Amino acid sequence: MDTLVLLTITGLGLGAMYFLIASGLSLIYGLMGVLNFAHGAFLTVGAYATWYAETKLTGIGSVPLRFLVSALVGLAVGAVFAALVELVLIRPLYNRHIEQVLVTVGLGLATTALVQAIWGADARTVAVPSWAGDTTTILGAAIPNDRFVEIATAIVVLVGIQAFLRKTRYGLIIRAGVENRAMVTALGIDVRKAFTLVFAIGGLAAALAGVLSGVYFGTVEPARGTSLLIFAFIVVVIGGLGSIGGSAAAAVVVGLVQQYANYYASSGLGDLSVVLLLGIVLLVRPRGLSGAFA
């Protein structure tokens, strides 16, 4: 029983990170039709900005406070980086999908290579508050506290994005733009501002995933964004392109399947199980769990 509880909460923690990446991917594709292969770079940039700030903010004696300030720096850098990518690289390529794919794939690879060239290929240790490494016992299972932070953060982000989409004018524009971008402009709305905003939100969420991955794994490394991006794409497809709720549900399923398969079947089988799950969902519900753009 305790093993099942540990696997479940760890799977939910992993799913939380997938969701943070997938939410931005899903919004960006839903609104703009851009398959953003550079999304992992937002995570990497956010994670490394956090780590770098930590190494420079040694004047802050309290580790939790230093981590918090560094994380805020990482989030800001991730959001600004993403907004700049939209303004400089994506905006000139609207409706040129092949070029968008080439540019975003290239940016993803270049970012990883650049980070590796500056800080090396080895993983860098992140100094996280000690309580994150402590455990809390639930039903006999000793659960690392960071798992709860990851799950809680993802829930806050999910609720925050839904509230933003439902309660604000920009949220209304984005929901309408996901359905029919041309008609939004035909109402006199400059939809390009919404594009930049969505990229910034996506970059913020991915950078948050980068910060949390540093807590989860205890390190940052250049290829982290790329490796997590693959699963985030699977989550987006399973959840239904453009659907935030669908991405949340799919992230939970993918995280759990991966953990259970790795433990109960064979270590390493988790990734294969996720791919199999993707195949099954595409056969049964080709538009994903949500069944429609939402």
Partner 1 sequence: MSLLSVEDLHVYLGQSHVLQGVSFDVAEGGVTALLGRNGVGKTTTLRAILGLAERHGRIQLAGEDVTRLPTHKVIRRGLGYVPEDRDVFRGLSVDENLRLAERNGGARYDLVYELFPELRERGRQLAGTLSGGQQQMVAIGRALLNDNRLLLVDEPTKGLAPSLVTEVANVLERLRETTTVLLVEQNLGVVRRVARDVVVLDQGRVVHASPAAELLADRERVHRLLGVG
Stretch that binds partner 1, among 41-49, 105-113, 179-187, 223-231 (CB under 8 A): 179-187
H helices of the chain, in order, are: 2-32, 39-56, 63-85, 97-119, 130-133, 145-167, 169-179, 181-185, 191-217, 224-239, 244-260, 269-284
Residues in 70-109 at the binding interface with partner 1, rule: CB under 8 A: none
**Residue 188 lies near partner 1 (rule: CB under 8 A):** yes
Indicate the DSSP class of residue 127.
-
Part in contact with partner 1 (CB under 8 A); list of ranges 11-19, 49-57, 103-111, 187-195: 187-195
Query: Is residue 280 a contact point for partner 1 (CB under 8 A)?
Result: no
Instruction: Using alpha carbons, select from 102, 104, 100 the residue that is nearest to residue 42.
Output: 104
Residue 186 makes contact with partner 1 by CB under 8 A? yes
The set of residues, in sequence order, having a beta carbon less than 8 Å from that of 136 and lying 6+ positions away, is 142, 143, 145, 148
- Decide whether 166 or 285 has the Cβ nearer to partner 1: 166
Residue 187 within binding range of partner 1, rule CB under 8 A: yes
CB of 30 to partner 1, least distance (A): 11
Of residues 135 and 180, the one with the C-beta less far from partner 1: 180
Q: Which stretch binds partner 1 (CB under 8 A): 80-88, 186-194, 255-263, 274-282?
A: 186-194
Distances (CA, A) of 177 to 30, 225, 272: 8, 28, 35
* C-alpha span between 63 and 9 (Å, rounded): 26
Q: Answer yes or no whether residue 172 interacts with partner 1 by CB under 8 A.
A: yes
Note the residues at the interface with partner 1 (CB under 8 A).
169, 172-173, 175-176, 178-180, 182-191, 293-294
